[in-house]
Amino acid sequence: MSKASQTAVAEKDRPEGWGRPLIEVHDLVKHFGPVVALAGVSLTVKAGEVHCLLGDNGAGKSTLIKTLSGVYKPTGGDFVVDGKPVAFSSPRDALDAGIATVFQDLAMIPLLSITRNFFMGREPVKRLGPLSFMDMDFANKVAREEMRRIGIDVRDPEQAVGTLSGGERQCVAIARAVYFGAKVLILDEPTSALGVAQTSMVLKFIRQVRAKGLGVIFITHNVRHAYAVGDKFTVLNRGRTLGTYTKTDISLDELQTKMAGDKELQDLSEELGGTV
C-alpha cells in the first residue's frame, strides 16, 4: 500500500472532531506574590494530537499544568476549552470540562486492588432494598476489559495494584481517565522512573489514546521520549513560550538544543572550550 493510501485510510478511520482545538491558552500569566511563575505562555492542544511540553527545571511546566487542571487560578491571560472561556475554581471543574491530569505519584493506594484504584471516588453502586454497596462484579469486569484493551492481561483485578510494574500502573491511571470521559489528558513525567520495556508500554498506550481522538499534553524532560510520540512540541523557558514546533519543523537534536536553551548551551560551550 502506498504512503498516500495509508494516509487516506488513517483519515477515514479518524473519530469525528479530529483536529479541532480542545484547549487554547493565550499569554497565560501566573504570579505568586512578587514571583512570576508564568510570564506569557501560549499553546493549543487539538483532538488526536500529542502535544509535548518541554523545559528544564524552573521553566514553568508544573505551574502551567496545575493551572490547566484547576489547582491554580491564572493571574492573567485567556484560557479557552472547547471554544469557551473558562475560569476553573478547582480540579473538579477541570474534570467536569474533560481535562484529566495523571501526576507522577499516580494518586494510587498500592495495597488496594486494581479495581478499587480504577474506580476510586466513582464506584458503581448496587442497591438491595435500603442498602447500597459497590457492584464488584461489574467493576471487576470493566477493570479487566479496560486493561485488556491496552494489552495487559489482568487475571485477577482484585490483586493489589502495587503488584503491577511501574509502566502497568501508569497505564491503569491513564485508562481510568479515558474510561471516565477525559477529552484532554495531561501526563506529568509518565516515563521518568521507568525502565526501557515499561517506557515502551506507556508510549505505545499514549499513541492508542491519541488514536481515539483525545488530546494529550505530555510533560517530560526526556526529549527522545517526546519525539517518539509527539506531534507538536512547545518549549518553555523561565515561564515563557520559546516556540511551538512540529516534527517537520525541527529535528531531535535541534529540539534538544532548544530545551537546553540555545544561549545557555553556547555560553557553557565557550566556558568549557568548545567541548559541548
Position 274 scores a pLDDT of: 57
Domains and CATH numbers, the chain: 3-109+181-271 (3.40.50.300)
Q: What is the pLDDT of residue 258?
A: 83
- pLDDT at position 221, please? 85
What pLDDT is recorded for position 150?
80
What nine digits make up the cell of 229? 510520540
3-state secondary structure 39-81: EEEEEEEECCEEEEEECCCCCCHHHHHHHHCCCCCCCEEEEEE
pLDDT at site 6: 42
Q: How many CB atoms lie within 10 A of CB 258?
A: 20
Residue ranges in the chain whose pLDDT is less than 50:
1-9, 276
263, HSE (Cβ side, Cα atoms, 13 Å)? 2
* Nearest-angstrom CA–CA distance, 265 and 276: 8
Name the grid cell of 53.
Answer: 511540553
Distance of alpha carbon 60 from the chain centroid? 16
Decide: helix, strand or coil at residue 264.
helix
Q: What is the pLDDT of residue 72?
A: 93
CA 27 to chain centre: 21
Give how far the C-alpha of residue 6 lies from the chain's centroid of Cα atoms, to the nearest Å. Answer: 27
Residue 134 dihedral angles phi and psi, to the nearest 5°: -70, 130
The pLDDT tens digits of the residues spanning 92-132 come to: 999 999 999 988 776 788 899 999 999 988 888 888 888 88
As a whole number, the mean pLDDT across the chain is: 86
Report the relative pairing of strands 21-32 and 35-46 from DSSP bridges. Answer: antiparallel
Which cell is 161 given? 495494584
pTM of the full structure: 0.84
Tell me which residue has cell 470540562. Answer: 97
Which amino acid, 210? R
Question: What residue type is assigned to position 110 of the chain?
Answer: P
